Amino acid sequence: MASSDQDLVPVLDKDGVRLTVDDAIATVTLTNPAKRNAQSPALWRALTEAGRQLPGSVRVVVLRAEGKSFSAGLDRQAFTPEGFDGEPSFVDLARGADAELDATIAEYQEAFTWWRRSDIVSVAAVQGHAIGAGFQLALACDLRVVADDVQFAMRETSLGLVPDLTGTHPLVGLVGYARALEICVTGRFVAAEEAVNTGLANVAVPVGQLDGTVRDLAAAVLAAPRDAVIETKALLRGAQDRTYEEQRAAERQSQARRLRDLAGVGD
């Protein structure tokens, strides 16, 4: 990240989302600090578009946010009868057909899925509040570097809803079922020390060191050969769904590909 996000010409800059690319590193920035980067369907579509516009040269994607809060979650306007201009309100969606409601939620989820693509490593830089959809967006990334003022919370259940933006799978994977259930049903805050101790965060640093720490982490990822990183990520991502013997076989197959590649031998 030789250049700052602000110094680069944006590839995308709309609806509270800015995408910039600096060689092998892309930065996605939430750009509405006045509203604590509250989320909306328009923002989700912009995040989805950012993922589709990543150049093939990108190996690391950094997700960050302007202001004191990473994201305060879903914009409360979503809960009003009117909803957002040009969007169906949640009441309208609830009254629609099952297939339509399912398709709409699936569209929203797309903003949270591409961060785990096998060809990139995504890193969330999280400061201040990351609540609800904000928490789930941080969970969408492979790695999380947090500031010492971070406050994670999953508030959906407290509102009579459930976390539906792909956050439940990584949350259980990181902290286990019992703690994930407790975090979700109580809606309590998880601070930096607990986040690191439970595996929610890789490291916590003072707020002023957040961007620098993420830059160092990105550089460390880029120091390893790209194909080896891709193979390793695929091995680890699939480990939960494989038996021990299946994982052994996956390791052998992956290593065979690496050895042949390094030796210049085709399959």
Whether residues 175 and 257 fall in one domain:
no
Tell me if 231 sits within 8 A of 258, measured CB to CB: yes
Rounded alpha-carbon distances, angstroms, from residue 27 to 51, 78, 186, 187: 11, 27, 33, 30
Could you report the per-residue pLDDT of 229-251, keeping only the tens digit for each? 999 999 999 999 999 999 999 99
Whether residues 238 and 137 fall in one domain:
no
| HEC-encoded secondary structure of 153-188 | ECCCHHHCCCCCCCCHHHHHHHHCHHHHHHHHHHCC
Strand partners, 205: 147
Could you report the per-residue pLDDT of 115-172, keeping only the tens digit for each? 999 999 999 999 999 999 999 999 999 999 999 999 999 999 999 999 999 999 999 9
Query: Looking at residue 91, what is its pLDDT?
Result: 84
Rounded alpha-carbon distances, angstroms, from residue 149 to 4, 182, 204: 23, 21, 9
Rounded to an integer, the average pLDDT of 2-13 is 79
Whether residues 108 and 19 fall in one domain:
yes
- The answer on pLDDT for 95 being more than 50 is yes
Query: pLDDT class for 92, splitting at 50, 70, 90?
Result: confident
Specify the higher pLDDT residue, 67 or 4: 67
Query: Looking at residue 141, what is its pLDDT?
Result: 98
Query: pLDDT class for 3, splitting at 50, 70, 90?
Result: low
Whether residues 243 and 161 fall in one domain:
no
- In the chain, the number of structural domains is 2
Write down how long the chain is. 267
- The answer on pLDDT for 2 being more than 70 is no
Residue 240 domain boundaries: 226-263
- What would you measure as the largest C-alpha separation in the chain, in angstroms? 63
Whether residues 121 and 241 fall in one domain:
no
CA distance 251 to 53: 32
Whether residues 250 and 213 fall in one domain:
no
Residues 6+ apart with CB under 8 A from 154: 131, 132, 135, 136, 163, 167, 171, 183, 184, 187
- The answer on pLDDT for 1 being more than 50 is no
Whether residues 21 and 100 fall in one domain:
yes
| CATH number of the structural domain spanning residue 219 | 3.90.226.10
- The answer on pLDDT for 27 being more than 70 is yes
Whether residues 185 and 249 fall in one domain:
no
Rounded alpha-carbon distances, angstroms, from residue 255 to 107, 120, 155, 225, 261: 36, 19, 43, 14, 10
DSSP annotation of 148 reads: T
Rounded to an integer, the average pLDDT of 175-191 is 98
The structure tokens listed for 142 are 């492979």
The structure tokens listed for 164 are 């539906």
Whether residues 186 and 241 fall in one domain:
no
Whether residues 62 and 178 fall in one domain:
yes
Rounded to an integer, the average pLDDT of 190-194 is 98
CA distance 129 to 125: 12
